[in-house]
Structure 1
Amino acid sequence: MRKSPGQRRPPRAKQLKEALHRGTPSFSRTGEGLSAPTLDDPEIQKAYLEQLVECAPKAISILDGQHRIVRINGEFTRMFGFSPEEAIGRRIDSLIVPPDRSSETQWIGDVLRQGQKVSLETKRQRKGGMLVDVFVSGAAVVVGGEQVAAYVLYRDITEQKRAESLSSALYRIAEKTSSAEDLNQFYRSIHATVSELMYARNFYIALYDPITQLLSFPYFVDEADPRPAPKHLGCGLTEYVLRSGEPLLCTPEVFDSLVKQGEVELIGAPSLDWMGVPLKAANRVFGVLVIQSYTANVRYGEKDRDILTFVSQQLASAIEHKRHEEALRRSEARYRSLVQSAVYGIYRSSMEGRFLDVNPALIAMLGYSSIEEVLSLDPKLDVFADPEEYARLINEFHRGARLENIEVRWKRKNGNAITVRLSGRAVTSPEVAEQVLEVIAEDVTERRLLEDQFRQAQRMEAVGRLAGGVAHDFNNLLMVISGYTEVLLENTGRNSPLYPKIAAIQQAAERATTLTRQLLAFSRKQLLELKVVDLNTIVREMERLLRPLIGENIELQTRLANDLGRTRADAGQIEQVIMNLASIQKMPCPMAERSPSKAAMCIWEMISGVYTTTFSPVHT
């Protein structure tokens, strides 16, 4: 006898469900009154639907018209942490939607009521409060033209978002390496980049300098501790990572274990989670990147440590590059300051002699007011007084010679010639393909003038010593002549025709004696003899000797004071002073051609030299 259909369905649905669980189709023998199941059977369709929802790789929630959860699958429980008993009957927005995204839920409901599908990337909240990145897709279930339910699918895209954020972060690190103007700006941008990947409100970078053996903190942001001063290595967690060269996720348990082992000690405010990764360059640890949390709501995990380690590898290269760039910038600034403030002229030129760069000292040396004027000059025509010297100098550089203290004649802007001593060499410059010349120029014009004056003074001194020796011998002869003349005058009567001739001989001898005394005074070999003298008389007597000495092209004028008193002095020394002052007029002073101040300086130096020479203890 055949069973009614109502009696046959439960066993058939049960068999299908069991078969679906086993993964094999279910068949019954026709001889036993059972027939093969068909997909048109509602029970079979429901069983398929149940398995489809349960085995789906996405989290699925089925909602009623009031957005209350009717059904969830196992992936929903795994993703968000809610069991079916905790989820069914609750509104979806109160279960997994973050409070700041309530308007988003309202918009999704409006779209579904209009019969449209919805899809977007957003965040949802797990049972413990942690946010997860998800891709949401949903649609309404319509029966008889009326919406009776809705289904919403969630795909976890946390790893995808993390990979995208990580890739974007690495790109920005590389970008900031070249665009940041200084290290502080670069460190701030790195902090912002890490903050997009994980909680990094407390963030710092520590760098170790092996030369000074100091650990410094160029960037330090922390809600509990101030920025530490540079210090020597101690036993903190930062130093532990420096020593080990390995990443460290330090939870309270890990910290207690390290303290017991004597590896670390507490420095600063105690944090809940402390995570530090080494910064390495060529297997050398030069710093540590650290983030930490003081609240139980923010905990770090192994994935965070791996991400921060990966970021630190790129960051270490960027920091090392930026530090070298900063050191190069400071070095360039120091050397530029050194060149700009140098008292010697310094310039770079092409191998043809064209100026490429000059310092302020060279601009002043040539008498110009701006660097543009000097760079526009043709050295062969506008700088070198002798074009042959210019050609000879360039040929020496082309031969690869290093020039040391080569003196040449240059022209200033006003046409005056100066003597310049050059030292330099040809070097390779990255700015141009060819070699360039780097030369130091020293203006030795005034030094050469002083040297000429010194040599002239030496010659005058030699002449004076020669004249003194001759005058001494001549004075001995005059003493003999004067002695015999006095004997002849005593033995010759005034009426004798020889008396006037003998008297003339005596007068000539006296004049020769005066001349000899003046020569001895000029040579400083006369002993000091203090007596009352008349300066007018001395000047008047010196006038005869000075006129042939100073030459015909210099006018000599004497103005004697009638009311001048007498003084006690050595007449020879006074005569020496007058002689030296008169000799000043014969000394050349090319500096006077440039400006009155230079002329005054020249005269003052010559007078000072006369004073020093005249009254030197060696000669007096």
Structure 2
Amino acid sequence: MPETTQPIDGGRSANGRKKGGKEPKSIESTMEVRYRALVEQVPAVIYTDSAENIFETLYISPQLKSLTGYDPEEWLTDINLWNRIIFPEDQERVIEEYTRTYTAMVPSVSEYRITTRDGRIIWVSDETRLVRDRKGKPLFWQGVMVDITARKRAEQIQGITYRISHAVISTTSLEELYTSIHSILGELIPIQNFYIALYDAADDLISFPYYIDQYDEPPTPGKPEHGLTEYVMRTKKPLWASQKVFTQLEEQGEVEIIGTDSIEWVGVPLMVGERLTGVMVTQNYTEGVAYAQEHVDLMEFASTQVAMAIERKRDQQRIADALEYNKTLINSSSLGIGTYDTSGECILANESFLKILGTTRDQVLGENYNQSKIWKKSGMLDAAREALASGNETRKEIHTKSAGGKEIWLDCRFTPFTSHSEPHLLLSVDDITISKRAEVDLKIYAARLEQSNRDLQEFAYIASHDLQEPLRKVLAFGDRLASKYGDLLDETGRDYLKRMRDASQRMQTLINDLLSFSRVTTRAQPFDVVDLNSLAQEVVSDLEYQIDRTHGYVVIENLPVIEADPTQMHQLLQNLITNGLKFHQEDTPPTVLVTAQILDSKCQIQVKDNGIGFEEQYLDRIFKPFQRLHSRQEYEGSGMGLAICRRIVERHSGEITASSKPGVGSTFTVTLPIFQTIGERAYVQ
């Protein structure tokens, strides 16, 4: 960002943090060494700015290196480093926020993106507050910078899911839906050139209903050729193709040049379950505008939502077209029209009116609606009187039977008018029986849509399952690299290799946990007789290594026999006991006590430990996926264990909660029915 000409306190640049400078005397106190030693253990970047100028940094903790890749010394000596690493689109806003904070001397929290030394774009939360002495004199600005990339990514994914789902409802056509999808994804991914290709397997045809490109015109529908789009269709896998990758595929005979050659090309398959419905593509022709892995990941995730959205919209449009067709058929015939004088006697009726009502002209012309049983029973009489009294048209749908006994729905309009200075009534009747039946069909379709949404739960299982094979290869080749070439690597190389293997192991754990989470409903077993006492002993036996390693102790009191899924009960107890063993206090061997009691028709199981505990304000948070109260460096894990427990308990129509006190321990309470009332039953003595 260019230098701001307006100085802050003696000419310091408002958009560049002035580094170094003379530190306040309060910072040079005897507590400085202790203070810095303390903050350098915090999993965040801690910094101190001058009280006179918030843009003058006096100290920044070493955690800066792991967050940004830059050393604290670089930060303190390079005046414009902070400016340069702020994402260009965020620079102006962030500088304004900091200037406003300094002027008002109030705390602030700013969230913005930065570019790390290795080119990654991450999100940070930067919180700043003014520290004063006991007399209220400003001493310095204290700041904390935390990596919130994961949260932002989750918000982006959640936002994409919601907005694409909402677009299905808010748009009136497939063309509008395609445009909305382009707009939604364009806020997160550089997709100036974007197209959606749809595949009709029945006719083996590929079409391009949405195609935005700065060079090429939309291809005409036809048989699949041998381009990159068709390559993704064949492999059913995402493809991130640079010019080098494209050349390799071309040399291998996998693809041919079709259209203008792009610098980068990203395509993801559109899948509904196991069925390929098309491909979603973005490509770039401009040097300097590059895609990142996060863009490819977002495209891949969004592809499932897009595929389902297009499928739902196409179904909706087919139904809407059917309804419009029915409406056209009805409107092609003249409306039934009848007029009534001030006394309520019919003075005119056309043929359509007679046909719709299934009556004769003599019957209608001799009838007064004030004495008609049908008018009274159906509400037509009240609607007619309301229209005459208000002078405004009244509309009412009538469900009745024709003279021949046929059940019909009528759309009736009661319009008052004056003839010969006397109030009259015009009744327009439209037979809407077909459209009403279509509404019933819509409700059935809505139920099917609900089922399709439940099928989306399979997504986590499928995605996690498909990730396992490439991850196994990463782990295998990492092991081979370490064993065969480890001695050839320098210290930095070995460090990089270790980080890669550690990250791969964490990914493996996460995938396994995702699979476990998904399998609670997608791979569940029928309920059966389960002896919780025997099951708990098996769990303890399985955890023998962890118990020995932590010098822990697990006590299983008498547990009952209930009706449940044996595998899921094993996982439930294992997760809860493992929690007690893992989150133990330093220098204190963990003790886990498992007890149970019968409460009427339910069984209450308690797993109590003497671990570190937690604040109960976080009670709801701990049962959500990927939620952690501690850093990975403190305690390993993926944050899925208790989420899996909760899902298992809910599948068994039970409840799970916890009570805890920091430094004392936690008690997890699970309440389950002794007998299950759904699914396959098992007899429990």
Relative contact order, CA 8 A, sep 6+: which one is greater? 2
Question: Structure 1 length normalisation: TM-score?
Answer: 0.48
- Is the helix fraction higher in 1 or 2? 1
Structure with the greater alpha carbon radius of gyration: 1
